[in-house]
Structure 1
């Protein structure tokens, strides 16, 4: 059975003056959704993915925002030039893993239309620029209210 699951990604204290957006599609054939320029506050991105049970009874995620192989799915946040901000000095992408979302969490979240899954990720890296690569450490997803 397929379930639509709403995700909220909160990018904490992102590098100021940089565009961030969700990557919709893959390879060279993608567009940017919910593009936002960072200021002095966190940025939030909400999106919907489709969860279906895989052969191992664990959720597998699909949809135009979902990237990667079944055992290692993620959502990209594109940054700077990758998000269409061509005057930026940054051209990065941030992988937000979908790991740790169990079938039980999917069931609990989709059973109540007022709930979603949320994660908080750092928006600025050790170099002072936007965080990029796979989020580390990744604190996982938790159920939250819409």
Structure 2
């Protein structure tokens, strides 16, 4: 197995109550679905970090030579087939600064704060623009 394990925390500030959210693996299967309430939601994503840096693992997706990201599945994509929503949010991880990655290799959990709602009032989807940049979690 290549790379050192690190943990990335994806925190959704204001998810839509009653909507299912989950991580999505490389086979597009929902993993760890959670029904949102009134509080923020967080998903801890295990990733392996190799020199380069290269991001590896069951949840890491790629696009082109350098873009790496993780999907959060929403509604039917998260396994709730009764949901009116079928969306995915793409969270870029290739943009995490090197100094934070060094802290992650020392055991720190890196966290990003994400929006929960889109302009249409539904769950945020497509490429999620963080509310706050990546940081070391408390």
Q: How many residues align?
A: 136
- Residues 87-140 of structure 1: CA distance to partner in whole angstroms, max 9, x if unpaired? 1110000001103223332222221x3x21000000111111000000125643
Is residue 2:136 matched to residue 1:134? no
Native 8 Å contact 1:77 1:95 kept in 2: yes
Alpha-carbon shift at residue 5 of structure 1 (Å): 1.0
Change (3 A) 1:95 1:72: same
The RMSD of aligned alpha carbons is 1.7
- Normalising by structure 2, we get a TM-score of 0.90
Aligned ranges 1:104-143 → 2 under 5 Å:
104-111=99-106, 113=107, 115-136=108-129, 139-143=132-136
Question: Which residue does the alignment assign to 1:46?
Answer: 44
Partner of 1:36: 34
Query: Does the Cα contact within 8 Å between 2:21 and 2:78 map onto a contact in 1?
Result: yes
* Corresponding residue number in structure 2 for 1:61: 55
Query: Are residues 61 and 19 of structure 1, via their aligned partners in 2, closer, same or farther at CA, if it must alter by over 3 Å?
Result: same
Q: Is the 8 A contact 1:76 1:94 kept in 2?
A: yes
User: Contact 2:115/2:131 (CA < 8 Å) preserved in 1?
Assistant: no
- Aligned in 2, Cα 1:100/1:139: closer, same or farther, shift over 3 Å? farther
TM-score, scaled relative to structure 1: 0.85
Which whole-Å CA distance do the structure 2 matches of 1:83 and 1:77 have between them? 8
